[in-house]
Each structure stands twice: as C-alpha cells, then as structure tokens.
Amino acid sequence: LSELEALMERMKRLQEDKEDEEASQEEMATRFEKEKKESLLVISGGICAFPHFAVLFTAFDDDIVSTDVSRYVEDPGFGYKDFARRGEDHLPTFRAQDYTWENHGFSLVNRLYSDIGHLLDEKFRMVYNLTYNTMATHEDVDTTMLRRALFNYVHCMYGIRYDDYDYGEVNQLLERSLKVYIKTVTCYPERTTKRMYDSYWRQFKHSEKVHVNLLLMEARMQAELLYALRAITRHLT
C-alpha cells in the first residue's frame, strides 16, 4: 500500500474498533503516558535521543541552517525546554478536564482583556475545523480523527492529557517522520527544513500540509495559554 492508502486504512480500522469496543480509562491513561514519554525522546536540542529516529534525523542534519536569533530577542537563550527530565518515572500531567480553554481560560482572558477571548476562540475553532474533506486525491473524507490526533499530540508533548481521548490513535496515525516534523515545527521552528517538510505525507497537497502547520501552531499557542492562565487563576484565588 502507498503511504496514503495505508493511512486511510488505519483510520478506517480505528473507527471500526472504536465502534466495536472502547478502551478503558486505565488503558487510555497508560497509552497517554507511553506517548508522553516517547515525545520527550524525539528531538533534544537538535540531537536525536530516540534510537528509532537516529537514521531519519541524520538525513536532515545537512539541511539545518544555523539561525542567529539573538538580534531579535532580549534573551537569546530563551527557548523550548521539555516539561520534564528524561528518565523520570512520574512525569507531570496537566489534566485538561481540570482546566479547559472552553470552561476556564476563555472567560479569564475576556476578563483580563475585553473580547480577546472571542477572537482567540474563533481562531482556534477556524483552524481546527478547516477541511476540504479531502486527503490527497481522495474526496469526501472525514478528517476529524486525523486533525484531532495532530492537535492532541502537540498538547501531549506539553504534558496535557484529555481523559476522553485514546492516545493509541496518535501512534497509529502519525508516523515517525511526521512526529519528528511536528516536534521540530512546534518546539524548534528555526530548525525546520524543506526536506523535513517533504519527508512526510508525500502524496498530499501543499494546502493540506500547510493546514498541518496551522494546526500545530494553534495547538501550541493554546497549550501555552492553558499553563499561563491556570497559573493566573491560582494566583487570583
């Protein structure tokens, strides 16, 4: 099977499995922990620490451009850091049900800055729901499962868990090259190369892959807002 056909087959199989039998809360929690720990090993400071990605990432090394961002920021050392140290048995988890954008963050933002919550919410919803109902040459395809996997994987990298989501879907739908691309774009955007962009979903249209980038950026922004707004809420109370 081609990459595209294999992905569509996995989507179909996951949907059928979901209809036949849902995973227990314990199973979903275990799958989240596994995915969360693996996400910490995908890329670290430009060095691949996860053996399965070694060959893949080495192929990108020649394309990585050293970007001097010091002239644009006050603190050149400021950047992404993993939310936990590798090797820790109990990694911190932000349970989305305890503090959600819809029920908590949205209202707090509006209190702090009138109407900005509505603008942010509209932006999040527009990018998340954007679809042509296509996958490359296939039409009338429901891409909801795939879009949710992309969005939730970014939140998973930031330690955010949705209790009602089966993270086994992430592992089934997002292949290794795409996971490398997601973490690079989300955490180290200056290291993103065209070869990395070309390495995943080769049969997809550019418009569809650009939509992936939009999803990743909005997911990252919402994750950062959730942490910041939760801290503000705790301070106010």
Cα within 13 Å of Cα(113), Cβ side:
9
Per-residue pLDDT for 127 more than 70?
yes
Distance CA 86, CA 38 (A): 10
Distance CA 207, CA 195 (A): 17
Strands 94-95, 160-161: pairing kind: parallel
Cβ neighbors of 163 (< 8 A, separation 6 or more) are 25, 28, 29, 95, 96, 97
Q: What is the mean pLDDT of residues 121-145?
A: 95
Residue where the block lists tokens 């049969």 = 203
pTM of the prediction? Answer: 0.84
Contact indicator for 193, 164 with CB cutoff of 8 Å:
no
Contact indicator for 8, 163 with CB cutoff of 8 Å:
no
What's the pLDDT tens digit per position in 89-118? 677 899 998 999 999 999 999 999 989 999
What's the pLDDT tens digit per position in 208-236? 999 999 999 999 999 999 999 999 999 99
How high is the pLDDT of residue 37? 85
Q: What is the mean pLDDT of residues 72-89?
A: 70
Number of H helices, E strands in the chain: 10, 4
Of 63-77, 123-137, 169-183, the one with minimum mean pLDDT is: 63-77
Residue spans per domain, the chain: 3-63+82-236
How high is the pLDDT of residue 119? 96
Q: Which two tokens stand for residue 76?
A: 């050149």
